Structure 1
Amino acid sequence: MYNEEAALPALVARLRPALDGAGVTYEVVAVDDGSADRTAEVLEEARLVWPELRVVRLRRNSGHQAALTAGLHSSVGAYVASIDADLQDPPEKIPEMLELARKERLDIVYGVRDDRSTDSGFKRRTAGLYYWLMRRLVGKSVPSQAGDFRLLSREAVDALKSLPDQQQVYRLLVPWLGFPSGTVTYVREERVAGETKYSLGKMIGLALDSITTFSAAPLRIATWLGVLSFFACFGMVAVTLGIYLVGHTVPGWTSLFVVMLFIGGIQLISVGLLGEYIGRIYTAVQKRPTYFIGHDSARAEDRVDAGA
């Protein structure tokens, strides 16, 4: 959660009854991704009356996927469900996910949105384009309209923790594991309070990370663009020679200018794609952590500092 002060009362009011009624012991790991509002204070207040609530605060805003990583790595349960704090994904579906996983011995249960009418038309179209592209690049194992609302077994969580990826995109990593999986459908609701933190820039960043992390297709696109430009230029050379032989040679600065722009554009695209991959190699070599935990209410020293 990031700056979700307004949404937390509604989240607690729906999440706690759903989990209490599941008939199992549980722990809720609430990851505060460096919020600038009273998210941390509200969580600590809720923890006083909800002993199963555990608060993990990151030192800075590290991003959605990094916060999700912190939650997965902090969890200890036999099954782990991930959900955002905005209540667009219904927490009442978590017991249903758990029941399906146990009944059919599944390691992964995806929450799949079968109705996104509460989203804007632009959001629905861009999301559809994203999943279409991911299924084309990564494979049909990527479930369509499945976000980060899912249930994982301890085996699946441990497998994710063992991966060395610096840029972790769980929408693609989880299907890539190939563990037995199932789906639970639900209607996507409107955000309960506040504004979305997933801007257009972040959505584009997620798509770029997804593509460059899981596929070398952009590099192959650059190669094919180079081949296309070669044949296009070869064809123009043939046309130019033909005009020269028939004696209709005229100064062709326009065609020359167009060719130069075409080739220059392809070169810049190719260099840019190479730069994206080299940048990710550089990040992987550095091995910098994607997040730092500043406070964990489950740690003895943090409980003492908080007066618990």
Structure 2
Amino acid sequence: MRNKLYMVIPCYNEQEVLPETSKRLKEKLSTLVKAGKIDPESRIIFVNDGSKDRTWEIIRRLHEEDPVFGGVNLSRNRGHQNALLAGLMTVKDHADMAISMDADLQDDINAIDEMVEKYLNGTDIVYGVRSSRAKDTFFKKATAEGFYKLMNTMGVNTVFNHADYRLMSKRALEGLAEFREVNLFLRGIVPMIGYSTDVVYYERGERFAGESKYPLGKMLSFAIEGITSLSTKPIRMITFLGFFIFLVSIGILIYSLVRHFMGATIVGWTTLMVSVWAIGGLILLSLGVVGEYIGKIYLETKARPRFLIEEFLNDTENAKKPEEKTER
């Protein structure tokens, strides 16, 4: 059977939720295997993103007790996006399809059935999309929806109300491997892959246990990372601002000259005003032009490893040593 599914679950300090998460995911995997939808060799892979608690200890124990569970242990904390990519790139040679989701059980695991069904019908990428935000506070709903609108305005193609709950075929995973950005924003990169796509709507629940790993500060940082890693529009806006201020400086020049010849000014005022506005406009204009090039260079020249894998637990393969799984 050639429908081997690998579930990839990034984990950072998730010792409180892992026992329940592993139980529910195993039940879902067993149901799909019994229904003949996926291969019996399908696996659940937890990615430990440098956790400071017992997360990796629990993952190792789960693997020892049941081969359906596997683990990827990163050498240190690399952030959610890098951890997710590490898991996907590690399993892409073993899986026919991979589903990524968070460990906190907020994503409805029952949506997996429909995702797999769409894959079997020929879809390469299936996005899990929230059907509503009725349970969110007004602030959370406004900021989240504003985030997606801002991203699209800035030229970053995202799926509205989609996080990182998605299914990707082997072909889509191989396509993702071709993207070499160090500054990762997978919600914007995955739509760039192309291929056939579809969506599955689900109701997002409350976190099962523990605390959110994305407070407001991290969410703002995440948004900035997404915009700056996939769009040069902010830099282009500086260019437009430079043009605007330069035009304003011309207006100020005309105004100052008129006031000068009318004798309604003091000595040196005209020169000072024109100099401040003209030079300010020219500086912003110059920064914008230079910034256009710096922005493009910035997106291409960084070549630091995106993650280093210390250990890979998977019964179908021997554990990989760190040097064997260094992703750039």
TM-score, length of structure 1 as denominator length: 0.87
Shift of 1:244: 1.3
Residue pair 1:212, 1:277 contacting (<8 A) in 2 also:
no
Taking a change above 3 Å as real, the CA distance of residues 220 and 276 of structure 1, as seen in their structure-2 partners, is closer
> Where do 1:84-95 residues align within 5 Å?
84-95=102-113
Q: Which amino acid aligns with 1:170?
A: L
Report Cα offsets for 1:261-304 as digits up to 9, x if no partner: 9975995798599679848846853522111111211363579x
> 1:4 maps to what in 2?
14
> 1:158 maps to what in 2?
174
Aligned partner (choices 123, 146, 151) of residue 134 of structure 1 = 151
Residue pair 1:7, 1:193 contacting (<8 A) in 2 also:
yes
> Where do 1:16-55 residues align within 5 Å?
16-23=26-33, 24=38, 25=40, 26-55=42-71
Report Cα offsets for 1:209-251 as digits up to 9, x if no partner: 2222222212210110100110111111111111112221147
Q: Give unpaired runs (5+ residues) of structure 2.
A: 1-10, 322-328
- The count of residues paired between Structure 1 and Structure 2 equals 301
Q: Which has the higher helix share?
A: 1
Q: Give the SS at the match of 1:238.
A: helix
Residue pair 1:222, 1:266 contacting (<8 A) in 2 also:
no
Q: Give the SS at the match of 2:32.
A: coil
Aligned partner (choices 83, 94, 99) of residue 67 of structure 1 = 83
Q: Give the SS at the match of 1:147.
A: strand
Taking a change above 3 Å as real, the CA distance of residues 50 and 280 of structure 1, as seen in their structure-2 partners, is farther
Shift of 1:111: 0.3
Q: Give unpaired runs (5+ residues) of structure 1.
A: 304-308
- Counterpart CA distance in 2 for 1:265 and 1:93 is 53
Query: Percent of aligned positions with the same letter in both sequences?
Result: 38
Shift of 1:183: 0.5
- Counterpart CA distance in 2 for 1:102 and 1:42 is 33
Larger RCO (alpha carbons 8 Å, 6+ apart):
1
> Where do 1:94-133 residues align within 5 Å?
94-103=112-121, 105-133=122-150
- Counterpart CA distance in 1 for 2:303 and 2:172 is 23
Aligned partner (choices 183, 186, 206) of residue 222 of structure 2 = 206
Q: Which amino acid aligns with 2:141?
A: R
> 1:13 maps to what in 2?
23
- Counterpart CA distance in 1 for 2:277 and 2:109 is 53
Q: Give the SS at the match of 2:130.
A: strand
Shift of 1:33: 0.2
